[in-house]
């Protein structure tokens, strides 16, 4: 997860405490699901049809499975996830005292594996890590996103906001160029959303699988012909108050 830190900082800037995103007025914040076709909205809303629920169910099994030299399961410490994990994903990313930088939910899961289970970390974008992350995040579905107000996150959040607003790549576009200034318009036949990370890990129809916010950010960086940067922290703050949807479905 450390290799993904540059992306995590933008998410932390989104998660942590900036007032309101330029270009999006207070009260105008809308989840990406609002821009989807009725068919995609219905796919997300029906747990029997939502393909992301397969990862949630896998995560539920992994939650009960003993791992590592400690031979302990997540449930061994945290018991019933529907109680102990409710609201957790709505608060992440958080500040990690051990590394003195933000850590996202997947990073916390891997940290817990290393410290408590004495197990090897799960690979980024692996089915197991996505499944556990989706399962934990699913416990917060329907709760408002409430970014941490930890002052130690401020410099990372500010850096994420700067990156979100900076023009990058050969196309000289910023994240804000599309998602603050032109949301609701069309690009290549698709409606431009506001880019709120309300449902990650989510099932993307284009990928035909579940993926993380970091994967989506990398795709966007490629789209404007730029390298991945520190983005994750800023995005969650922009989404403050929107409801967690994991596992969301997007085209």
More confident residue, 64 or 21: 64
List residues forming the annotated binding site for substrate. 216
Task: Please report the domains of the chain, with CATH numbers, ordered by start residue.
Answer: 2-250 (1.10.760.10)
For 74-108, the pLDDT digits (tens) are 999 999 999 999 999 999 999 999 999 999 999 99
Mean pLDDT of all residues in 166-173: 84
pLDDT, residue 227, reads: 52
pLDDT at 14 exceeding the cut of 70: no
The neighbour count for residue 161, using CB atoms within 10 Å, is 24
Mean pLDDT of all residues in 28-39: 95
Mean pLDDT of all residues in 160-182: 89
pLDDT, residue 233, reads: 78
Lowest mean pLDDT among 150-159, 179-188, 217-226: 217-226
Cβ–Cβ < 8 Å for 105, 213: no
pLDDT at 231 exceeding the cut of 80: no
pLDDT at 2 exceeding the cut of 80: no
Report helix, strand or coil for 134.
helix
List residues forming the annotated binding site. 74, 77-78, 112, 175, 178-179, 216, 220
Task: Quote the CA–CA distance of 81 and 35 in Å, as a whole number.
Answer: 31
More confident residue, 190 or 211: 211
Cβ–Cβ < 8 Å for 220, 174: no
Task: Quote the CA–CA distance of 135 and 115 in Å, as a whole number.
Answer: 20
* Nearest to 96, CA basis, from 70, 115, 73: 115
pLDDT at 8 exceeding the cut of 70: no
Mean pLDDT of all residues in 168-191: 89
Predicted TM-score (pTM) of the model is 0.85
Mean pLDDT of all residues in 24-52: 95
Catalytic (active-site) positions:
220
Predicted confidence band at 168 (pLDDT cuts at 50, 70, 90)? confident
At what angle are helices 5-15 and 154-165 packed, to 10 degrees? 100
pLDDT, residue 6, reads: 44
In angstroms, the Cα distances linking 39 to 112, 188, 249 are 38, 19, 11
Mean pLDDT in the chain? 88
Q: What is the rounded (10 degree) CA torsion for 41, 42, 43, 46?
A: 130
Tokens of 155: 């410099």
Per-position DSSP letters for 56-103, written without gaps between them: HHHHHHHHTS-BTTTTB-HHHHH--HHHHSTTTGGG-SEEETTTTEEE
List residues forming the annotated binding site for heme c. 74, 77-78, 112, 175, 178-179, 220
Cβ–Cβ < 8 Å for 236, 194: no
Task: Find all residues with CB under 8 Å of 43, minimum gap 6, and list them.
Answer: 49, 50, 51, 249
Task: Quote the CA–CA distance of 68 and 76 in Å, as a whole number.
Answer: 13
Mean pLDDT of all residues in 153-165: 90
pLDDT, residue 19, reads: 32
144 HSE (CA, 13 A, CB side): 8
pLDDT, residue 228, reads: 52
Q: What is the rounded (10 degree) CA torsion for 79, 137, 55, 229?
A: -130
pLDDT, residue 237, reads: 84
């Amino acid at each position: 997860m450390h290799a993904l830190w540059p992306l995590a900082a933008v998410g932390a800037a989104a998660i942590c405490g900036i007032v309101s995103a330029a270009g999006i007025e207070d009260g105008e914040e809308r989840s990406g699901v609002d821009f989807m076709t009725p068919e995609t909205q219905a796919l997300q809303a029906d747990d029997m049809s939502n393909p992301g629920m397969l990862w949630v169910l896998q995560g539920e099994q992994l939650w009960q499975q003993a791992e590592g030299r400690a031979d302990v399961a997540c449930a061994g410490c945290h018991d019933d996830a529907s109680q102990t994990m409710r609201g957790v994903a709505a608060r992440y990313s958080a500040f990690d005292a051990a590394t003195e930088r933000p850590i996202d939910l997947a990073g916390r899961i891997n940290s817990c594996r290393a410290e408590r289970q004495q197990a090897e970390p799960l690979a980024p974008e692996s089915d197991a890590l996505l499944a556990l992350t989706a399962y934990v995040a699913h416990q917060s579905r329907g709760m408002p996103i409430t970014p941490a107000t930890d002052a130690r996150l401020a410099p990372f959040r500010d850096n994420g906001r700067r990156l979100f607003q900076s023009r990058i790549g050969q196309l000289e576009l910023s994240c804000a160029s599309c998602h603050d200034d032109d949301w609701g318009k069309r690009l290549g036949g698709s409606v431009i959303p506001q880019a709120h990370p309300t449902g990650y890990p989510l099932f993307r129809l284009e990928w035909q699988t579940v993926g993380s916010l970091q994967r989506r950010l990398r795709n966007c960086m490629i789209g404007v012909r730029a390298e991945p940067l520190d983005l994750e922290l800023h995005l969650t703050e922009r989404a403050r108050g929107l409801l967690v949807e994991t596992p969301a479905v997007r085209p």
